Amino acid sequence: MSEIAIDVTIIPPEEIMDKAVSISKKLFEETRNKEIVLDKEKCIPHITLVMICIDENNLDDIKKIVEEVALQTKSLNLKFVETEIGPTPDGGKVSGLKIERTPEILELHETMIKKTNPYRKKEATIKALYPNPKPNEATLTWINAYERHSSFEKKYNAHLTIGFGELKNVELPITFTASKIAVCQLGNYCTCRKMLFEVDLKE
């Protein structure tokens, strides 16, 4: 039975996607690091709710869970409040835009992780990731530690990853309303490389 590493994620509205792509490309122009350069098709801007590795045969079950939760969840009023720069498992620096943690986004994260956890495999392997660009072992560190290190009230950090390097001169805050959840296949450095399905939140 084959496995697949997926991200249950909030997809920002079109204008925020465009802004994130533009910021990411400017960062790339400074660093020339092409590991994460956002675009709307092959490196999709996203806000992670759950990272998980599952048996591919269980994708339909995950889809049903996401659809059921979406039908009970209103559109989210979100805000980018600051830039953040963190280390990668292999010694680099990666930048993102931090989301203000509201009760609504925390509840959505916790609901999704509790409902999808029964399908979680103990560890992802390279073969579970989108193959292009070629993924590295450091990516697995994030996925396999997500439940322990990045979940629930004290550890969940909602953000949108922009790219490698130190992000500067972004005018904040940026407020927006998100009304779409998607499931994507994870690729190198936990990028969303392939859209598997998406669903609208309740109006």
pLDDT of 47 > 90? The answer is: yes
Q: What is the mean pLDDT of residues 122-146?
A: 92
Domain count, the chain: 1
User: What does the alpha-carbon distance between residue 76 and residue 180 come to, in Å, rounded to a whole number?
Assistant: 9
CATH value at residue 25 = 3.90.1140.10
Spatial CA neighbour of 199 closest among 5, 7, 1, 9: 9
Phi-psi region of 163 (alpha: psi -120 to 50; beta: other; left: phi over 0): left
Average pLDDT over residues 123-127: 93
pLDDT of the residue at 160: 98
Q: What is the pLDDT of residue 81?
A: 98
Question: Which residues partner with 60 through β-bridges?
Answer: none
Max distance between CA atoms of the chain, in angstroms, equals: 47
Q: Is the peptide bond before 133 cis (omega within 30 degrees of 0)?
A: yes
- Bigger pLDDT: 160 or 152? 160
Q: What is the mean pLDDT of residues 106-129?
A: 94
What integer is the mean pLDDT of 154-169?
A: 94
Q: How confident is the model at residue 31 (pLDDT cuts 50, 70, 90)?
A: very high
Tell me the β-bridge partners of 163: 95
84: domain range?
A: 3-200
Judged against a pLDDT cut of 90, whether residue 83 lies above it is answered with yes
Residue in this structure with the two tokens 């992780």, named with its chain if needed: 113
* Average pLDDT of the segment spanning 142-147: 91
Check residue 1 and give its pLDDT.
Answer: 60
48-68: pLDDT as tens digits: 999 999 999 999 999 999 999
Percent of the chain whose pLDDT exceeds 90: 86
C-alpha span between 114 and 125 (Å, rounded): 22
The proportion of the chain whose per-residue pLDDT surpasses 70, expressed as a percent, equals 99
Average pLDDT, the chain: 94
Sign of the Cα pseudo-torsion (121, 126, 127, 129, in order): positive
